[in-house]
Amino acid sequence: MNKIALGLPIYNEEKNLDKVLKNIIGQKIKSKEVIISDNNSNDKTQEICKKYTKKYKFIKYYRQKKTIDIFKNYNFVLQKAKSKYFIWQAADDLRSRNFLTRNINFLDSNPSFVASTGISVLDKVKFSNNIISFNLSGNIYRRLFNFFRYKWLSRGIFDSVVRLEVLKKFPFNNFKNYFARDWTIILFLIGQGQINRDKSSRAYFGANGLSFRKHTLKIQRFSSKKYNYIEAIFPFLYFTKHSIFLYRNYNIFTKLFLIFNLSILNFISGFKLFFKNIKN
């Protein structure tokens, strides 16, 4: 069994694929597998992937027959993994050569932690404070507090090295398309245990994710018309609903703490969205 599996759910990434695959190959750890799920790309993605699979046996390439939901594509690479640890890899993100070894070694030595990641380095052009180092360790209240405090900068937590057996417990089939689905997975991990932030490894993120864009709340689209009026007040309605579902078996104090923070998130976000719509 490999030590870690890297899951790459990709679509039309001919511009970034060479760079990210070379970055993965350059990681110091040898016991790894790379699982690529091509979401029916129509550019040169398939050609590039096949070039690498011929040269490197640890790279596995799958192509979807038709384009599927991005969340399903993330789950696809996860379910194909048969390693001790797992990490998602976006095609526009890079990591320092010691990233995998540092975070895997930490998890090997600290069984109470479910995940570990390095310092996040964001695009300097778009972020004046581009070095993100907050952690999600300590008791569950501290972990939840820090998540809601730094939620817009939590991309590095989503792309942590995670214990595979823990991540596979996430109920993907119960979660359809809604805004902030990646946050739901982070909240799930927070509920499972502590998340480490290694100070000596780096993850370099592109700025193409929805949470990194300007006017994020205005960009989002809701799938069901019957919730339009409610979502004008509670823009994170589905995220709130699924987060509460994940914590349904926790003690009453944890659930109340979660609901309190979700209520603040919806109130502040709804307030901002309302005034942005008025201005336009």
Task: Return the pLDDT at 224.
Answer: 45
Q: What is the pLDDT of residue 123?
A: 75
Residues 6 or more apart whose Cβ sits within 8 Å of residue 108: none
Per-residue model confidence (pLDDT) at position 73: 94
143 falls within a domain: no
Residue 55 lies in a domain: yes
Q: Please, what's the b/e burial string for 191-212 (b: 16 or more CB within 10 A of its CB; e: otherwise)?
A: bbbbbbbbeebbbbbbbeeebb
- The Cα 67–Cα 11 span in angstroms is 9
- Pairwise CA distance, residues 44 & 213, whole Å: 26
Mean pLDDT score, 59-76? 94
The last residue of one of the domains, among 44, 63, 92, is 92
Q: What is the mean pLDDT of residues 103-122?
A: 96
At 276 the pLDDT is 57
Where in the sequence is the domain holding 71, given as residue range(s)? 1-92
The answer to whether position 138 is within a domain reads no
Rounded Cα–Cα distance for residues 240 and 236 (Å)? 6
Contact 116, 107 (CB under 8 A): yes
Per-residue pLDDT at 211: 47
pLDDT bucket at 212, cuts 50 / 70 / 90? very low
Return the minimum-mean-pLDDT range out of 34-48, 186-200, 220-234, 266-280: 220-234
The span from the CA of 23 to the CA of 25, in Å, is 6
| Averaged pLDDT for residues 12-37 | 94
Q: Give the integer Cα–Cα distance in Å for 198 and 200.
A: 6
Is it the case that residue 113 has pLDDT exceeding 50?
Answer: yes
Domain with residue 84: its CATH number is 3.90.550.10
In-domain check, residue 260:
yes
Per-residue pLDDT tens for 79-88? 999 999 999 9
- CA pair distance 102, 199, nearest whole angstrom: 10
CB contact set of 28 (below 8 Å; sequence gap of 6+): 97, 98, 100, 101
Look at strands 194-204 and 94-95 and give their pairing: antiparallel
Sign of CA dihedral 204, 210, 215, 217: negative
Any domain includes 105 = no
Q: What percent of the chain has pLDDT over 90?
A: 70
In-domain check, residue 67: yes
CA 40, CA 45: separation in Å to the nearest integer? 9
pLDDT at 210: 43
If 0-12 CB within 10 Å is exposed, 13-18 middle and 19+ buried, where does residue 83 land?
middle
Q: Domain total for the chain?
A: 2
Examine residue 14 and state whether it is found in any structural domain, yes or no. Answer: yes
Within a domain: 250? yes
pLDDT of amino acid 275: 56
DSSP string computed for 123-154: -TTT-SS-EE---B-SSHHHHHHHHHHSGGG-
> Of 85-89, 138-142, 229-233, 240-244, where does mean pLDDT reach its minimum?
229-233
Side chain identity, residue 83: S
What integer best gives the mean pLDDT of the chain?
87
The model carries a pTM of 0.88
Q: Which of 92, 108, 133 is the last residue of a domain?
A: 92
CA–CA dist 108, 220 (Å, integer): 39
What is the three-class DSSP state of 4? strand
Average pLDDT over residues 101-110: 97
Q: What is the pLDDT of residue 189?
A: 98
pLDDT band at 8 (very low <50, low <70, confident <90, very high): very high
Residue 133, token pair as written in the block = 């180092």
Looking at 70, 92, 114, the residue that finishes a domain is: 92
> CA–CA separation, 267 vs 141, rounded Å?
21
Strands 59-63 and 85-88: unpaired
Cβ 211 vs Cβ 127: under 8 Å: no
Chain centre to alpha carbon of residue 5: 15
